[in-house]
Amino acid sequence: MKKEKTNSRQSKKNEKKAAEKKAKAEKKSIIDAEEERPKGPKILVPLLSKRESEEEFVATVAPGAGEIILLLVIDTHAMVGGFGFAAGEIAVGNALMQKVKTAFGKKRKTCNDIIEWGDTANKIEHLAELNQVAKIFVVKQDNDFFKKLLKDMKEKLPEIEIQEIELPKAE
């Protein structure tokens, strides 16, 4: 015949303490996770010029941002050349993205990078909606492509604030 295990008062106290300790640890991990979340809105920064890594741009974007999403779009419609040209654009874009990511990292900002193929306007629109960004920051440019893109974004994304950052002329 098997002996039944009897529970003493001490073992009940130990079980209760262990349960309390486990609950406290779970509660603490939830609090830690909340503290780790970036404070502030999500920001989308499409890399449209080669000037997004400049200190003035980073200093303007970083203070109010919680999480920054860098977007590099390889727009095949805008490319005229063949594979060598596309590969060169990817390499230049990737290098720029790393510089921008490093610059935001120095400001202690969470920064994610995305590389997409396709139409620039559509990719910006879709990623802004998908990631529920609050703002889009772009470097102001004086060319027809940029003006058309900006007009298109303002029409298709009326609920998202689009900020143009004017940087001093490069020397």
For 27, the token pair is 């509660």
For 14, the token pair is 């130990």
Neighbour tally for 114: CB within 10 Å: 15
| CATH code matching the domain that covers 42-165, chosen among 3.40.50.620, 1.20.1090.10, 3.40.30.10, 3.50.50.60 | 3.40.50.620
Question: For residue 6, is pLDDT > 80?
Answer: no
For 171, the token pair is 């020397």
Domain ranges across the chain: 6-36, 42-165
Give the whole-angstrom CA distance, residue 65 versus residue 44: 10
Whole-model pTM: value is: 0.69
- Asked if residues 125 and 153 have their Cβ atoms less than 8 Å apart, the reply is yes
82-107 b/e with 16+ CB inside 10 Å = b? Answer: eeeeeeebeeebeebbeebbebbeee
Q: Which helix (H) or strand (E) holds 136?
A: strand 135-139
Residue 105 is predicted with a pLDDT of: 80
* pLDDT tens-place string over residues 8-40: 666 777 787 888 877 777 766 555 554 555 577
Cβ-proximal residues to 27 (8 Å cutoff; 6+ apart), any chain: none
Residue 131 is predicted with a pLDDT of: 87
